[in-house]
A and B are shown apart, each in its own frame.
Chain A
């Protein structure tokens, strides 16, 4: 049981390049989340998806787009990467109200 799988685990981008972080879950959960964590800081919510086909902004959505095409996958896209987006990105899932969140292992992104 893989749980929450994120790819890639490590990526270096040049400023202005684009890329997509992938997240897949095998727990059949409805809700999915993308967070970022800057060095020495807490996690900040980027985007949230309550169910397939729906997304909603979190605390820091600027510079990102997301896609929830099916229940299993939730992708995060950086259209034009900036050094300020250097961070560790975590995907998470949750079954429903009152339930806990399960996190992936994180994706380390460096923008130079």
Chain B
């Protein structure tokens, strides 16, 4: 199963772009990259996912490198409400999703 590596924490100024990196060097060709976030102790919330191409939705953009060994989640204009733990996930065998420890994003005024 592909594993992911994320920095434990990051800071971002309110209104600026937050760029959250993720390494997944053992990813297989047909495995998607998913991003979720967890605010306080709520259930994780889906943000975005992609396979090869860059993706954008109303919440964020996902940039996947050409070799697919890493990706970056971009929150274009971070707000205080974006303070959360962000998880980068690669689906494992038999559709099991392994979350890892994530990145704690602190958005500061």
Contact = CB atoms under 8 A, between A and B. Distances in A.
Interface of A: 4, 31, 33, 35, 37, 41-45, 48, 50, 56, 58-59, 88, 90, 92, 94, 97-98, 100-106
Complex A-B, nearest 4 residue pairs according to Cβ-Cβ distance, in ascending order: A103-B43, A43-B99, A42-B101, A100-B46
Contacts, number: 56
Contact of B32 (A42, A43, A44, A98): A98
Given A42-B87, A100-B49, A101-B46, A31 B95 contact: yes
A100 B97 CA distance: 10
A90 B42 CA distance: 9
Main secondary structure of the interface of A (DSSP, over half): strand
A22 B108 CA distance: 38
Given A42-B102, A100-B49, A106 B43 contact: yes
Contacts of A90: 43-44
Given A56-B94, A100-B46, A106 B100 contact: no
Contacts of B42: 105-106
Nearest to A101: B97
B101 A41 contact: yes
A58 B93 CA distance: 10
A111 B100 CA distance: 24
Nearest to A41: B101
A23 to B, nearest CB: 12
A92 B99 CA distance: 13
Contacts of B32: 98
Contacts of A94: 95
B95 A48 contact: yes
Interface string B14-45: 00000000000000000010101000011111
